[in-house]
Structure formats: C-alpha cells, structure tokens
Amino acid sequence: MTHIPPTAAIIGAGPAGLMAAETLAEAGFAVTIFDRMPSPARKFLLAGRGGLNLTHSESIEAFLDRYGAARAALEPAIRAFPPAAVIAWAEALGQVTFTGSSGRVFPKSLKASPLLRAWLADLTQLGVSLRRGSEWAGWSDAGALHFADGLEVSADVTILALGGASWPRLGGNGTWTRFLPPDAIRPFQPANCGFALSWSDIFRTRYAGTPLKRIAISFAGRSQRGEAMVTETGIEGGAIYALSGPLRDAIAANGPTILHLDLRPDIDRDTLTKALAVPRRGQSLSTFLRKHANLPPVAVGLVQEALHAGNTAPLVDLVKSLPLTLTAPSPIARAISSAGGVAFAALDENLMLRARPGVFLAGEMLDWEAPTGGYLLQACLSTGRFAAQGVIRFLS
C-alpha cells in the first residue's frame, strides 16, 4: 500500500519558516513554503551585512535572561534547540563558525549568503517546494489557505512564520494581523531602534553620521558599554539598542526621557576631575577637552551642545554623565526588530493557535523582543524548529 505523507504549508521563507520546513521534511512531511517576496530570507541576508551574528556563547541561563518578560514562553524552544545546536547546524551546512571576543558567534565567512545557499540546497534535496510571490490572505470559507492571487491550498497542518513589522520592504510588514483573532494581537512597536532628539543645526551639520566609540549609556539603573552613531534626527547604534525597550516604554508612559552618556567610561571620575582642574590658560574649550579629557571632536561637540542649551553642571559631570533628551523612538520601518505580535497566551504549549487547531506560529510574529547579539536569530530558529516538532506531536 502506498504511503501518503502528511502535507505541511509554511507561510514565510525567513529563518523560522525555513527551519520549520527542514524539520518537517526530515520527518517525512511533504512541505511547501509560500512567501510573498520574489526571493527568500531577505532580512536574513540584510543581517549578514553586519557579519551574521548567529547566536551567543554565554551560559544558557544568562542567554535566556536576555528575553526579559518572554523568557518563560521561549525557554522550552531555546532549550530544545540551544546555541550549541545552532552552531552544529551551521557547521553541518559547511559554515565553520568562530566566537568573537564579545562572545558572539559568527560564520567564518561573515556572510549570510553562503549559509543561505547551502540551506536552500539542502531543503531542495529534502523535497521542500518554495512558491515565491504568494501573499497569504487568510482562509477561505471552506478553511483552505487563501492567497492574494486567488490560489487556495489545503494542507494537513500550517505553520505561520510571517515575521514582525520592521524593515517591511524586506518582506514582513505585519499586515497579516487582520487574519488572526484580534484579542490575540499585541500592537507592534520598534525594538533595537534609534531615538529622535533635537540637535542644534550646527551640531547636526557637523556630526551627523559620526560614530561615538567606547562610550557607556545609562538609564533606569542599567548601564551599557559600546558604540553609537549620531544621525540627522537623533542617535542609534548597539549601545542604544541594548536599552531601547526600556527607553521606548518610558517615552510612551512619560514623554521625553533623559538618557545619560559617559563619554569616557574607561577613566574614573576622580582621575578625570583632577585632569580637568588644571588652568585653561587661554585654551578654547574644544582644545582643553581634547587635551585634558582626551575627547574626540564629536564628544566635545556634545558637551558644547549641553552648555549652549544652558546646562551649568561642572565639565566632569558633562563628560561622565551627559544628559540627552530622547523624544521618540525611530519609526518601526527603520528598527532592527519589532516587539508585539501574537501573544503567547493565544498559543498552546506546542505553539499552536488555540483558536485554530492545526495552525502553528513561529519567529518574530510572536510577541517577544531581545537585544542584538545573536538572540534574535536564535529565537527565530528555535521557535521554527519547536513549532515543527509541535506539529509532529499534534499529528501523533
């Protein structure tokens, strides 16, 4: 008697959808991936421009803590497919990895395209079909998957991996929310984003596009070392992204919010106080700060911005704790990732949508956020695999 494999439709060809497809195909499913874009994993490829941070090497407990309020919901998926498993998976596809000094894990190629090519070739060998240019548009009255071009598809199970709402030109735009129960959706918000603030015309003209290196930022009792970038409209970069969630929430609750910037975190306050206590002897402020505080021009410009705005604090305070008033997060279309999406309460322990049995969810369309550093891609891969394993448990 001929065995007919169960069928699975996966909507979304990003990392979560591709991992779900791989897991089900290896389990003997007939898998078809549908994606509205003409090529798969566009946001994944964009991430590769920065080196493709796959995951992080820190302890699993510290790793899980990076997910904040979503830790408990994501923990089963990440423990089932942890960082070590992601590294082994990438290396099985021919992409040797290395761990940087920060603990971040990268492929040696520092690119996404070789890994994606190997991954797609592996999926093809497993019999996975990829239908491009197919935009999901909910379900028909008969319960079939409906697509914008009129196509209707019936499958034994469906995995939705439609992404969040950041970088919509790359595929995920969040419009899928209208096809799911409204009470399951949490509003999308920018995550890992920059912030707007009011630079003077002189500072903006002179320093927009200039990096701030070896700084530390602090807010609400938390501090983060790293780098940032002055932009035309405000500030962005890794150090800012690390605290973007609390900053975003504070602005939403209280309006403009003050972030403090340490321009010399590698020197203690007492040492800097002594260095700045010497007579200026006719030196301009710019020359004095450059010589005695070892500040680069952009940092000097920030101190001058504060002074011109009427800040009368001692110079040491402006160098060690410069206040910046953030007025709004950057638009979600410019954010690296998004918070919000489908609440975990709307799903069962297998990531199946309670309101629609046989439909599972994975990736950034779920309501979680995490900092950059490998945590975003790890959770997408882990939930993609976990949702597929949930499918197998569901059917068995």
Number of structural domains in the chain:
2
Question: Looking at the domain assignment, is residue 171 inside a domain?
Answer: yes
Low-confidence ranges of the chain (pLDDT < 70): 1-2
Question: Looking at the domain assignment, is residue 277 inside a domain?
Answer: yes
Strand partners, 236: 229
Question: Looking at the domain assignment, is residue 54 inside a domain?
Answer: yes
Are 100 and 161 contained in the same domain?
Answer: yes
Are 127 and 160 contained in the same domain?
Answer: yes
Question: Looking at the domain assignment, is residue 378 inside a domain?
Answer: yes
Are 262 and 351 contained in the same domain?
Answer: no
Phi-psi region of 249 (alpha: psi -120 to 50; beta: other; left: phi over 0): alpha
Given a contact cutoff of 8 angstroms between Cβ atoms, the answer to whether 30 and 127 are in contact is: yes
Given a contact cutoff of 8 angstroms between Cβ atoms, the answer to whether 207 and 303 are in contact is: no
Cα distance from N-terminal residue to C-terminal residue, the chain: 20
**Cα–Cα nearest to 380, from 338, 332, 329, 349:** 338
Are 288 and 323 contained in the same domain?
Answer: yes
Question: Looking at the domain assignment, is residue 102 inside a domain?
Answer: yes
Are 339 and 305 contained in the same domain?
Answer: no
CATH code of 82's domain = 3.50.50.60
Which residues lie below 8 Å from residue 155, measured CB to CB, with a gap of 6+? 7, 8, 9, 32, 145
Are 137 and 203 contained in the same domain?
Answer: no
Strand partners, 235: 195, 230
Question: Looking at the domain assignment, is residue 1 inside a domain?
Answer: no
How high is the pLDDT of residue 48?
81
Are 178 and 275 contained in the same domain?
Answer: no
Question: Looking at the domain assignment, is residue 340 inside a domain?
Answer: yes
Q: Which of 280, 303, 329 corresponds to the end of one domain?
A: 329
Are 69 and 185 contained in the same domain?
Answer: yes
Q: Which of 296, 329, 362 corresponds to the end of one domain?
A: 329
Are 180 and 199 contained in the same domain?
Answer: no
Q: Which domain holds residue 250?
A: 195-329
Q: Quick count: other Cβ atoms within 10 Å of Cβ 119?
A: 23
How high is the pLDDT of residue 2?
66
What tens digit of pLDDT does each residue of 109-143 get?
A: 999 999 999 999 999 999 999 999 999 999 999 99
Which residues lie below 8 Å from residue 8, measured CB to CB, with a gap of 6+? 21, 24, 29, 30, 31, 32, 155, 156, 157, 158, 159, 391
CA 44 to CA 172: how far, in whole Å?
12
Are 169 and 202 contained in the same domain?
Answer: no
Are 304 and 376 contained in the same domain?
Answer: no
Are 13 and 156 contained in the same domain?
Answer: yes
CA 247 to CA 253: how far, in whole Å?
10
Question: Looking at the domain assignment, is residue 2 inside a domain?
Answer: no
CA 322 to CA 318: how far, in whole Å?
4
How high is the pLDDT of residue 1?
54
What tens digit of pLDDT does each residue of 251-260 get?
A: 999 999 999 9
